[in-house]
Structure 1
Amino acid sequence: MNKPLAALGIHLFNSANGFKTSKKMNKDWLKTFKSCCVVLFLAAQINVFTGCQDDLPADSYYTFTGEMMSDFLKNREDFSLFRRIVERAGKLDFLDTRGARTLFPPINSGVEAFLKEKGYASVEDIPVSYCDTLLKACLVERIIYTYDLGKTQQENNQLDLPLIIQTDGDTLDANHMVLSIINRRAAIINELKNDSVENGVVHPVDKVLIPNTSLGATLLDENHSQFSIFYEALRRTGLLDSLARYRDESYEIWKEDYPRFKPNIVCGHDTDIFTAKRPDHRYSGFTLLIVPDEVLYEKYSDRFNEDMTMEEKIDALYRLAEEKYDDHAAAEIFGLNKPVPENPEGKTYKQLFWNKHSLTDRHNPLNMFLSYHILDRLFESTAKLVNCWGVHTQYANPTEWISTLLDFSTIKLEKVYSTVDPAVEHPTDFYINHSVASIYNSGQRVRGAHLSLPDADNFSLNVAYYYVDDVLAYDETMRNNVMNTRMRIDFYTVWPELTNNKIRLCGNVTQPYGSYDNTENGTEGGGYNYYIPSNYIKGLKMNENAIFFAQRPKIGMTSAFDDCVSILGTYDLTFQLPNVPPGTYELRLGYGSMPDRGIVQMYVDNVPQGLPLDMREEGDSPIIGGLYNGWNGWRNSEENANGIYTSEELEENARVMKNNGYYCGPKSLYSGNDGTSGPQYSAAKCTLLYNLRATLRRKICNVNIKANTPHTMRIRSVFTPTGRGVFHLDYIELVPLGICGPGGLGEDQY
């Protein structure tokens, strides 16, 4: 036998054992390592079969002694009960296989508490199928270390259900160390956490993680003691029953017409080759923004008090709803002044349904009021509520504009920073329908409603709920003040399906592009790249030749919010524009230019708008006319010594660009990362989209938004170079025409 080769084998195997303490597994190294193992094995076999008679001392042979997750459970007595659960599920061998997983096993006292809670005499009484469920509930298919956790982090377990991990400093252990709490139930034991094994990492917990498999009505029924008025109103309006939608079973059949994976998707540079996954299911979900009873008693003490009967409380809420929507503009937006077709007397919807006997009609004021408090998608945690990546909070707050169950309405979700709004009471917390004082709202700041987490379980399979400290309404203040601004809308939030099916903000955003993006195993950071079949997204019409590619988010992309949707092939797609109040708006498309991009004709309400957009042209192209200091250099010498243009020069250039139908990228968005695990701007490591000549905004047209009318945008490819011609759906902007400003000055830079 070749002794130097054998020694090399021992070194490689020992290196593999030492590798288990590192944070992330290097897949390329593992591939090389496995190849070496094969070579070593074959070399050994050749020596055996050619009659090699060398006798080696026993200590020259290597024995694999690495501990797997199965060994972790076997070798520690305090996990004997959970080990038996795994054995009864028939999955102990699975925990002995290679992988990159995170396990949250409960200690024996936690299992004993679970047995008592569920009425089982012993582990042997737990049904085998439920044992399998309990294992999958505490197993995540990627490695997570606690030192990488954010204040709130959301992961999916093997049941495709969320694990919400909160490390906010509110809960301490006996040693006064901060605890990480999972789903408001189980605490990761600090003395035992981050225990690396060969196939992942183990975080022991003090209680069994029980998956919440109830639907929304059950969740609210079990937890409504603090919001009895809101709950009763939901029940009387029938909106409680409307929260039953969960999984589209028809998709389980027709999804088989599409391959589970679509390989070799070229999107970006020639070296960026992706494999995209078809969505496993088609889920629906809802998020409720609930006003607790105590808030109504305190803020509306002239209307509500604890001594009132429930009937009186519902009457008071009904009158409040009437006041919020009893104006001419609201009647136009929601069609309240339209005649009811089947009514022989020609009465309008308002005349017929504005009474306390018609609470279940969607035109009823209380029904409208509550519908506006329900988002048409599921946010199980605040970790996914607002995409904060790539937002420079010196200039702007991370913001999402989301549709609700009230037709033709939108709600503003915002993480408010004191750098943007010094008057904010809870910096870096979430607010609904907040607006900082500016020239666009006559200096009138709108506080909005502060969002907070309930003390009880706040999410189920298809419903999550949060508390707000004031009522919400799509009223005159919201429409005329809060929404009288440049509304920048990420395409990932245009379609609820991308949120409901864990496609938006999937995986670890800090994990850059790698070779694993072109495999069917997902990424090292968790999550997948997805392709969306035709007819999957409601209201999106797309030809079968098109590929709707939802690229996973990752830092360093030259895209807003570090994510983007790309359309490939010979495409023709139509979708509904987001809901905004009636009026005239400048409609803009934000995108990144690249040599592989295509040329598209854009339409609004099926009317062609201007010349086709050539996405191959960068900002310094003659047809755009931008002044740029290189590809991503500083432009303004007054802000940085590396800039070569003055503010006056750039202001004049903004006029030139606007006359050509373009704006530069925004100053409030950036590409890159400062090296931390969270979104944060660093001038040394990040580049403002304003300075990138490849990130632009194109004015599509001025669009007249009419009341009670859906408006559509259509995008059709007219040129696809080399068969690719990628169309970049990054974000759109809807800007009230009255605030655009001459020459693209002022807020257009941000």
Structure 2
Amino acid sequence: MNNKFSINKLVTRCLGSLLLLGVLFGMNSCKDEVDTSNMFTATEQSIFEYIDSVPEYSSMAYIFRQVKLGEKTDASPLSSVLAAYGNYTCFLPNDSAVAEYVKTLHKDTTDVHYLSYDEMKQIAYSCIIDNGTSTAYTYSNFQTDGSLPLSNLADRQLTVKRDTTDKGIYINGTSKLTSWNIKTSNGYIHTVNAVISPSTSSVSELVAEAGNMRVMAYLLELTGWYTTIDNTDYDHEYEETDHEEYETQVISSQPNTKFAIPQRRYLGYTLFSETDDVYARALGITIPDGELSDDTKKEILAALKVKAESVYGTAEEGNYKAATNAINRYVAYHLLPGRFAYNDLVRHYNEYGYSWGSDAVNPQLQNFSVDVWDYYCTAGQDRYLLKTLQVPSGEHEIYLNRKSEYNDERDGDYQEVRNVVPGLLISADNGEYDNNASNGMYFPISTGDKLLMYDWDVKNRVLNDRLRIDLVAMLPELISNNLRGKKYKGTYNYEVFPVGFFDNIIDESEETNVTYLINTGSAGWRDYQGDEFLFAGLFDFTLKLPPVPVDGTYEIRMGTSNNPNRGMAQIYFGEYNNMKPTGLPVDLRVGATQEFRNSISWVADADATDENDIIQNDKNIRNQGWMKAPYYITVCNGKGDSPLRDDISGYSTPCMRKIIGTADMKAGVQYYLRFKTCLNDPTSEFFVDYFEIVPKSIYNGVDPEDIW
């Protein structure tokens, strides 16, 4: 592993601590309103100084002195790192908790000195999160079930669970917070009653270990997906290449900005799995306790085969490892390529009515305004679409393949008025069984009697909709590396990716710089979900599109936010060997004056004389190949109160949707978009944010398409 980032950052922090020590103490005062019986007041000690000063934490003090940050021989011990300037979150077990953990590894002793270096490293790296330039996590960040946004030093996201029985908060499933918000000069300490120790098992191994997932474990083994998942962790070839920590001069508008280069390329899978009792109800059979017998397996397979073949066909019947076999397709539709934490299944940022709170980089996850959803391609050769949706009410449940109707009039609020397809409820955890694997996670479907299928309802009702898909949702590698909407290593706002980093961005020219940018609080940003891609340089690349659910005519659009720094591209569409130009090149540089608005007949709704005038204006804009931005998306001011539809805050240019074109598309056929620069200008920056794939029944249906 390349550790340039860690060591360089350490040097910077050590120097910074010498220069700024006198003014840092007392900053960032804690404002959380919590039970004061478990809350400590601020201390002027660093994290390590505090740990070293309290006798009951002597075991962790010893471990931090032994373990180094990185693999180099001259790497600094964590005792030094945690004594320097920074923002760290520490989940601290006492000596008794460490002793109990030692006993699980070495039956005859509880002495911390018997631990190997790798065992100590696992303990040390697992309990520390480097928050970089952001504030370390406090008790207020532990109020929602799911995962903490930033990974720990072992590059693992830690889960948070609020226990409804003992009212406790558990980190990583088994480590209960016993006190919190011990404020130090370089972060916060939260004490726990057990060592943080994320599982080293794969997703398939954890499913096999779970007593309520016996059917799925059997199906994974039967179809060969068990081995596929088990062997997927990270890109070993990418590891063999030495990558610099960052690059500058990546885009012309920000020549001195540091764009981080990911040091690893993590891969993995996320599984949605029905529990055994759901299978029993759905298949109408009895599944006895204990290990599944051969007779029970035959009964399960026979009942499931009937259901699966009615949806996926009878190709390769009996050959369960074949990609077109119905059972194989059934299992593949339960898998997403990529490591998704529960909180990353949807992205809250600038949807209508939502306020992100005090920190733009860590949006609050407790108060929501409207339904939020994403679409993802599942595993297997078919890549069938799966929809995830989180509701704003109750416990903010997340559903798979849920469809509702909304108050989507011009003066509406986009609240649900009728549920059409209930969808399948998923859980953030699996109770007593660990679901946070070394190469992904799994989420139980534990209620009802329905199985997750790509059936008629999904294809013709759930997905017969305007499919608005952020580019991030098409790139599982970005989510697997925990970069979605987050600062890289807690520090860098922007990243640049080597050619070939993304499987769904292909045929990149060597001159193509693929960059990813997140908003850190600027009210001037107007990006869906608060992030964007800029394809810089003499770019030429091809994007692999998600599949359409049914045969039909579709309109393809892309969100735009023009400014003079943007580029111009010829866009091509079609099957891989038959891509054709979609029309004239798209110039995203235009719009710095009123000229662009005039050229597309753009008039703000507020300036229209009446409803009919607004409708006519929308038609005029469509005739020019454009549409106003959705009302659902708002300016990134953290308030959710300024819809992009009429916004002209950026360079006096309205945010728009460019209609790339319409095409007859078939389910099961792979389509692509190619973007090739039309400028001999290495400083151009072509903006890509989100796409819409819209069936004719929506864009040219009986009822006009809504503005949302």
Q: How does 1:130-279 map to 2 (within 5 A)?
A: 130-142=119-131, 143-149=136-142, 151=144, 152=146, 153-166=148-161, 168=162, 170=164, 172=166, 179-190=168-179, 193-223=180-210, 225-243=211-229, 244-253=231-240, 255-256=241-242, 259-266=244-251, 270=253, 274-279=257-262
Call closer, same or farther: CA 1:741–1:150 in 2, change over 3 Å.
farther
- TM-score normalised to the size of structure 2? 0.81
Call closer, same or farther: CA 1:130–1:645 in 2, change over 3 Å.
farther
Call closer, same or farther: CA 1:17–1:575 in 2, change over 3 Å.
closer
Shift of 1:11: 14
Q: 2:444 aligns with which of 467, 470, 473?
A: 467
Deviations, residues 260-291 of structure 1 (Å, cap 9, x unaligned): 31114447xx4685311111112211111111
Q: Residue in 2 aligned with 1:293? A: 276
Distance in 2 of aligned mates of 1:87 and 1:701: 61
Aligned with 1:274: secondary structure? coil
Q: 1:372 aligns with which of 313, 333, 336?
A: 333
Call closer, same or farther: CA 1:560–1:182 in 2, change over 3 Å.
same
Q: Residue in 1 aligned with 2:26? A: 18
Q: Work out whether 1:727 is the aligned partner of 2:686.
A: yes
- For the Cα contact (< 8 Å) 1:402–1:493, is it kept in 2? yes
Q: 1:713 aligns with which of 636, 658, 673?
A: 673
- For the Cα contact (< 8 Å) 1:20–1:198, is it kept in 2? no
Q: Residue in 2 aligned with 1:282? A: 265
- For the Cα contact (< 8 Å) 1:20–1:197, is it kept in 2? no
- For the Cα contact (< 8 Å) 1:322–1:365, is it kept in 2? no
The more displaced of 317-326 and 97-106 is 317-326
Deviations, residues 608-664 of structure 1 (Å, cap 9, x unaligned): 001111112349523322113xxxxxx44xxxxxx6653322111100011111110
Aligned with 1:130: secondary structure? helix
Q: Work out whether 1:647 is the aligned partner of 2:620.
A: no
Distance in 2 of aligned mates of 1:212 and 1:382: 17
Call closer, same or farther: CA 1:411–1:197 in 2, change over 3 Å.
same
Distance in 1 of aligned mates of 2:156 and 2:632: 34
Deviations, residues 291-338 of structure 1 (Å, cap 9, x unaligned): 1111122344x34454895534544444434434436xx55xxxx7xx
Shift of 1:742: 6.8
Q: How does 1:521-560 map to 2 (within 5 A)?
A: 526=491, 528-539=493-504, 540-555=506-521, 556=523, 557-560=525-528
- For the Cα contact (< 8 Å) 1:102–1:200, is it kept in 2? yes
Call closer, same or farther: CA 1:604–1:396 in 2, change over 3 Å.
farther
Aligned with 2:219: secondary structure? helix
- For the Cα contact (< 8 Å) 1:297–1:306, is it kept in 2? no
Q: 1:122 aligns with which of 93, 111, 131?
A: 111
The more displaced of 651-660 and 228-237 is 228-237
Shift of 1:715: 0.7
Task: State the identity as a percent.
Answer: 22
Deviations, residues 355-390 of structure 1 (Å, cap 9, x unaligned): 3xx2222222111111111111111x3111111211
Q: Work out whether 1:407 is the aligned partner of 2:381.
A: yes
Shift of 1:195: 1.7
Q: Work out whether 1:85 is the aligned partner of 2:90.
A: no
Distance in 2 of aligned mates of 1:98 and 1:739: 55
Shift of 1:607: 0.3
Tell me which amino acid in the other structure corresponds to 2:321.
Answer: T
Distance in 1 of aligned mates of 2:55 and 2:25: 24
Shift of 1:233: 1.6
Deviations, residues 486-519 of structure 1 (Å, cap 9, x unaligned): 0000000111111112222324xxxxxxxxxxxx
Call closer, same or farther: CA 1:180–1:541 in 2, change over 3 Å.
farther
Call closer, same or farther: CA 1:471–1:272 in 2, change over 3 Å.
farther
Shift of 1:132: 2.6
Q: 1:614 aligns with which of 544, 565, 587?
A: 587
Aligned with 1:564: secondary structure? strand
Q: Residue in 1 aligned with 2:8? A: none
Distance in 1 of aligned mates of 2:707 and 2:673: 25
Call closer, same or farther: CA 1:740–1:75 in 2, change over 3 Å.
same
Call closer, same or farther: CA 1:130–1:312 in 2, change over 3 Å.
closer
Aligned with 2:501: secondary structure? coil
Call closer, same or farther: CA 1:221–1:595 in 2, change over 3 Å.
same
Distance in 2 of aligned mates of 1:366 and 1:14: 65
Aligned with 1:383: secondary structure? helix
Shift of 1:108: 2.1
- For the Cα contact (< 8 Å) 1:562–1:671, is it kept in 2? no
Call closer, same or farther: CA 1:22–1:304 in 2, change over 3 Å.
closer
Deviations, residues 560-581 of structure 1 (Å, cap 9, x unaligned): 0111111111111102111112
Shift of 1:107: 1.5
Call closer, same or farther: CA 1:439–1:682 in 2, change over 3 Å.
closer
Q: How does 1:327-406 map to 2 (within 5 A)?
A: 350=315, 353-355=316-318, 358-379=319-340, 381-392=341-352, 397-406=371-380
Tell me which amino acid in the other structure corresponds to 2:548.
Answer: V
Distance in 2 of aligned mates of 1:238 and 1:552: 38
Q: Work out whether 1:664 is the aligned partner of 2:644.
A: no
Q: Work out whether 1:589 is the aligned partner of 2:576.
A: no
Call closer, same or farther: CA 1:673–1:438 in 2, change over 3 Å.
closer
Q: Residue in 1 aligned with 2:45? A: 67
Call closer, same or farther: CA 1:439–1:107 in 2, change over 3 Å.
closer
Distance in 1 of aligned mates of 2:286 and 2:510: 55
- TM-score normalised to the size of structure 1? 0.76
Q: Residue in 1 aligned with 2:434? A: 457
Cα root mean square deviation, aligned: 3.1
Greater Rg by CA:
1
Call closer, same or farther: CA 1:621–1:325 in 2, change over 3 Å.
farther
Aligned with 2:271: secondary structure? strand
Q: Residue in 1 aligned with 2:602? A: 626
Distance in 1 of aligned mates of 2:249 and 2:139: 35
Q: How does 1:15-54 map to 2 (within 5 A)?
A: 15-19=23-27, 21=29
- For the Cα contact (< 8 Å) 2:565–2:685, is it kept in 1? yes
Q: Residue in 1 aligned with 2:647? A: 691
Call closer, same or farther: CA 1:13–1:533 in 2, change over 3 Å.
closer
Deviations, residues 172-213 of structure 1 (Å, cap 9, x unaligned): 5xxxxx5432111212223xx222222222222221111322
Structure 2: gaps spanning 5 or more residues:
1-17, 33-42, 68-76, 355-368, 409-417
Q: 1:323 aligns with which of 296, 307, 310?
A: 307
Tell me which amino acid in the other structure corresponds to 1:436.
Answer: S
Distance in 2 of aligned mates of 1:447 and 1:614: 42
Shift of 1:485: 0.4
- For the Cα contact (< 8 Å) 1:494–1:578, is it kept in 2? yes
Q: Residue in 2 aligned with 1:502? A: 482
Distance in 2 of aligned mates of 1:95 and 1:12: 16
Q: 1:448 aligns with which of 391, 400, 423?
A: 423
Tell me which amino acid in the other structure corresponds to 1:84.
Answer: Y
Tell me which amino acid in the other structure corresponds to 2:374.
Answer: E
Call closer, same or farther: CA 1:108–1:121 in 2, change over 3 Å.
closer
Q: Residue in 1 aligned with 2:360? A: none
Call closer, same or farther: CA 1:274–1:325 in 2, change over 3 Å.
farther
Aligned with 1:202: secondary structure? strand
